[in-house]
Structure formats: structure tokens, C-alpha cells
A and B are shown apart, each in its own frame.
Chain A
């Protein structure tokens, strides 16, 4: 397990070589190769069902590729998986939060599950909740939250854990326009600090073009 000081001190490179994915006997994509480094945002576009989610799952080492390999700082992610997980924060379709727990309890659990075990202190949690405008609701059960609020809570997790590589599957789902602006500001500051983002989205991104690379899956 890796504990690190701050993000821009780590140089990392995620290299994908000749990736292919077959799902339920259908070939989704083949021979995909690209590199993601610090300060990069890889925007993945493509029609629904084109394999975007499967690609993100493969990049998160949740699913094995059918062909090809993914190298993180010289090592295959499927052989050093636990170490890789300490670098990655994944946000999928689900919010990964329990309705029966409060916002604070949810964030505590996420801390305990992550590699940043010593990061669980109230100051950090409160500051992160403030950033996503949920501080007022910190002791409310998440079951009472709206869909947009729940999404913002999962974003709060990203900010709290401070993992350098964010893999986001349609992070703007259920979020209103001001929420989208908020999330984009977080992404931008994450990139500025030397982090990297791989994301899919149906919304056009309003982030500075200098960070963005695009990958379109047909």
C-alpha cells in the first residue's frame, strides 16, 4: 500500500497497449492504445453501448481485458492490482454510498477503505463537504438526499481521498447546471495539481483545452 505526500510529487504514466474487449460475445473495441499522464484529461466519447463503461472498468482493474495490457509506471495493473487501487478513484454509475448512513459516516467508511487511512479527520471531512455544498446536511441520512446531492457526495469522496488518477463514468448524471460547473472546477484544480482524469460524459466539457485529449470509440 502506498502513502504519498502530494500529487505533483508523483510522476505517473498509464500506458494502454492494444486493448480489446468482448462483452457477451460482441466485440466492443479492438487495438486501443493511448497514454495518460499527469495533467492529462482523457475524454472518452462514443455512442451508448460502444463500450465506454467497459473500458473504464478495464482501466480501473475491475475487469480483465480480452487482449492487450495496461501498464502503470512500468507494471501491469492486473499484477500489482492492490497497489494500483491506491492510486485510483473510480466513480461509476452508482454513487457507492449507503442510504442508511449519514454523509459523514459514508465519508468515514470511504476513508477507512482507502489507502489514506490517516486522512480521516473532521477538519478535512468538513472542508470537503463545504466545497460540495453539503455541510449543512452532514448528519442527515443519505436516503433523504436528492439524486444531485448524492452525486455531489460521491464527488466529495474524490476530493477527500486525493488519489491522483480519477476515473469517472458520466459524473454529471443527475447533477444540475450549477453542480456541473462546480464539478468542472474540481476537475480543473485536480488537473492543475498534477492529477489525471479519464472520463466519459454526454455533456460538452468547458475545461481548458490544453489538458484534454479525446478518444472516440466507434
Chain B
């Protein structure tokens, strides 16, 4: 098992592996996306209180979940970078930042669009929205710090420290709806109880969540490919590849 994982530590092996599996990932992603959107827009029944405007949940919730998931992936990479200094962890960390920021922005924007008809306001300063906004600033801070430090080997370590310091925010976001009485909807899916959501509404949601995960992986791998090329630009295998292509 470790041998299998260890091979990924080698950049050329990983690069070729990415190229091999990307087509399959695209197929799975589009398949899930279509199935999820069909369920979201067609099969799921209209909500009792909100009518059809609730359907934005199928983008809003997966985006919000991904915003936290990506940050946790980054935090795990950060630990690996600081303790073991693995190259692949460095690449995965920096390749995830932009996607994470985008998911966070989508969550905030779709939430805002949803909030207007539901609560009558584009924005409220409740716990969950505020902490999600903080998360966006954390992502932006990570990008800013990484770009500000010229030596990228140092930059990735600095960013790793920053990511770990900010990880405290994630449980705050997640549990904020339980700890405070907020305007935002309480936990409906991620509780240990039976989900309080109708099954026909739930399935497209879960499908979309998985679809978004695949999107993340695809985006991550594309960025990782670029990062590998950049950081390995002086090695022979990259130079050979460039020669072959030209």
C-alpha cells in the first residue's frame, strides 16, 4: 500500500497518471452533474414553503460543503508539508486555493440570491454567513501571502502555517447554526438523526455534492499538472517532453 502511494511522490509518475485518469473523471463528472441537475430541476418536488426558489440549494449547499472540504484538504496538506516536506503535498495545497475560494464565493453569492426572497435581505450578519465570509478572506489571504513571497519553497511553508492557524474557523462555520439561534437554516443533512429532508429532495443534493467533488478533483489535477511542470522545469523528463511535443 505504501509503495503504491510512494510512487505518487515521483512527479513524472504522478504527471502521467493524471493524464491517464482525467478523461474518466470528466465523464463521471458530467454524468453526475446531468443526473443531479435533472433531479434538482425536474424530479424533486417543489418545497411546501418556498416553492421553486428553494432549488438554488442544489448549487448553494454543495458549494458551501466544498468550501470547507477543500480547506480541510489544504490543512491536511499543510501538516504534511510542514512535517514531511513532501513535494506532492505542496503542489496539492497550492492547487486547491483558487478552487476553494471560488466555491466559497459561489456559496456566498447563491446564499445571498436565496436569502433575498426568503428573508427579505441580501445579507444578514448571522454566524454562518459571517464565518463563511471569514473563510473567503482566509483563502484570499493565503493567495496573497503565497504571491508576495518570492521564493516559492518558503512561500508554501509560510502558507501552510497560515492555513493551519485559520483552520479553527471551520468548526465555527459548521457548528455555528447549532450554537447560536441564527436566521440560517439549522442542520438538516449532517446530523446523526434521520435527515429532516424529503428523500426526493435529498438524492439530487447528494449527487450534486459528489459531482462538485469530482469538479474539485479535476480542477485540482489540472492545476497540479501546471505546478509540476513549473517546479520541475529544470529536470530532464520535462525537457524531453517539451522536445517531443515541439
- Bound Cα distance A66, B152 (Å): 13
Sort chain A's interface into a size bin: under 10
Residue in chain B with minimal CB distance to A23: B151
The B interface, classified by DSSP as helix, strand, loop or mixed, is loop
Interface residues of B in 145-169 (CB under 8 A from A): 150-153
Total B residues in contact with A, Cβ cutoff 8 Å = 5
Residue from the list A22, A24, A66 in contact with B150, Cβ < 8 A? A24
Alpha-carbon separation in the docked complex, A204 to B150 (Å): 34
Which of B151, B152, B234 touches A27 (beta carbons < 8 Å)? B234
Total contacts A to B, CB within 8 angstroms?
Answer: 7
**A24 B151 Cβ-Cβ under 8 A:** yes
Which residues of the other chain, A, contact B153 by a CB distance below 8 angstroms? 22, 66
Instruction: Report the bound CA distance from A207 to B153 in whole Å.
Output: 39
**CB-CB < 8 A to A23: which residues of B?**
151
Complex CA gap A25/B234 in Å reads: 9
Residues of A within 8 A of B151 (CB): 23-24
B150 partner residues in chain A, CB cutoff 8 A: 24
Task: Give the residue name and chain of the A residue nearest to B157 (CB).
Answer: A64
Q: Hey, what's the 0/1 contact readout for A187-207 against B, CB within 8 Å counting as 1?
A: 000000000000000000000
Alpha-carbon gap, A23 to B151, bound state (A): 7
Please give me the residue from chain A that is nearest to B230 by CB atom.
Answer: A25
Instruction: For chain B, residues 117 to 151, give those with C-beta under 8 angstroms from any C-beta of chain A.
Output: 150-151
Within the assembled complex, what's the spacing in Å between the Cα atoms of A23 and B150? 9
User: How far, in angstroms, from A25 to B150 measured CA to CA in the complex?
Assistant: 9
Which residues of B, 63-84, contact A by the 8 Å Cβ criterion?
Answer: none
Whole-angstrom distance between the Cβ of B84 and the nearest chain A Cβ: 13
Give 7 nearest A-B pairs by CB, closest first.
Answer: A24-B151, A24-B150, A23-B151, A27-B234, A25-B152, A22-B153, A66-B153
B contact set with A: CB distance below 8 Å: 150-153, 234
A residues in contact (CB < 8 Å) with B: 22-25, 27, 66
